[in-house]
Structure 1
Amino acid sequence: MAAQGKQGRIYGGLSSADREAQRRQSLLDAAIDQLIAGEKLTVRGVCARTNLTSRYFYENFRSTDELAETAYDTCVAELAAAVTDAFATPAELDAQIASAMTVLVASLEANPRAGHVLFSYRINNPLISRKRQESTAFFAQITAETVGDAAPPGIDAVQAAHFVVGGVTQLLSVWLNEGEKRSDDDNTGSAPLDGPAVARLATTLITALAAQLAR
């Protein structure tokens, strides 16, 4: 049975707007799955994963680049908001940094698919590579802003933050990719990297930067 409502015909309890949103989310999920698998992102591949026709693809996205960019932005948005909120919480700088890194690691553990989009070694997509650079720049900027303008003469706080955030990014990449490798090969025999330990090490790196700049 179909009923007419303000949002269009109702089929199976879903309005046309609901169905459109569902299709869009399916396309985003399929894109994330393809990227994580290391596959080239194609309209045909995404449509095959979703059982949708190319018509529905182009109703939502102009190209696979736009789809990849939207998928990446969707994954990073929640992480960026959580870290920004943690840095913005009134507290001593060391506590702010510790809170931000704990929140970041916990968010990556809670949403590993997003973590893989941000850090997986399998993804070889030029647009994703560019987006990763933009994310690094964003986190370096808020790190520098948190430290403030206490840097000594001749030291660029943003450049210093890029150096440290690059190291933290590499740490997170190793941590997440190690988990991915372990899922591919259960006979590694090595202990998994510990999330809280990763958060503490990241905190130490950024706190050390803050201490150097505040001298």
Structure 2
Amino acid sequence: SGPVWFAPSKQIVFQGGELNPDDVIQFLSPIQGIVYMSEQAVATALKLEAARYRNSSSAIPAGVLRQTGGEPLSAQELADLAAAFNAARETNQTAALNEFVQYTETLTSPDKMLLIDSAEFQAMEMARLCNIPPYLAGISVGSYSYQSSAESRMDLWTFGVRAYADCIAGTLSQNNVLPNGTYVEFDVEDYLKGEYSMSDYREDNTNEPVPNGIL
């Protein structure tokens, strides 16, 4: 498989009825959707999360009591031995075993059971698919230079949003949507500078509310 490129659709159906394509504004993003470009990566992430969920409910024993000699113990006797060992550990700091029983710690740790390394790698993979720096998604990337909030907003706009915003603005600025010479653009200066508040929003919003409260 490979990139799946789309063109304006000539047959549009909505709620069972066919619409005239000339009456519909179609936004064609320059970036292919991750469900088309990266089916395997998305499927891997979903399966990995399902495996972590299953492992989270699995009880991990701290250690194993292994009989190394003497008369073989039955299943009930082994269960009683383990229960007595656990009860003794709750009240005593020192354990005592004879030469026929050996205690071995389990090598499985919670981070291995929860597949921490695999989850971090797959999270970085999904961040790359979404064209955003991993740190914007809260993913640890090790040591990196100090990043101010303004630089973080710029990275989010540049890598994660701008391609879609340009698609929306460019589509709405076409002559089949607006009169010739009229164009649409996003006002992101205040966002990038961090200079915005609810009071500014109220001052800029001059629309009168309609009776149902929707502007």
| TM-score tier (shorter) | under 0.3
Give the number of the structure whose residues are more often helix, by fraction.
1
TM-score normalised over the length of structure 2:
0.26
TM-score normalised over the length of structure 1:
0.26
Which is higher, the Rg of structure 1 or of structure 2? 2
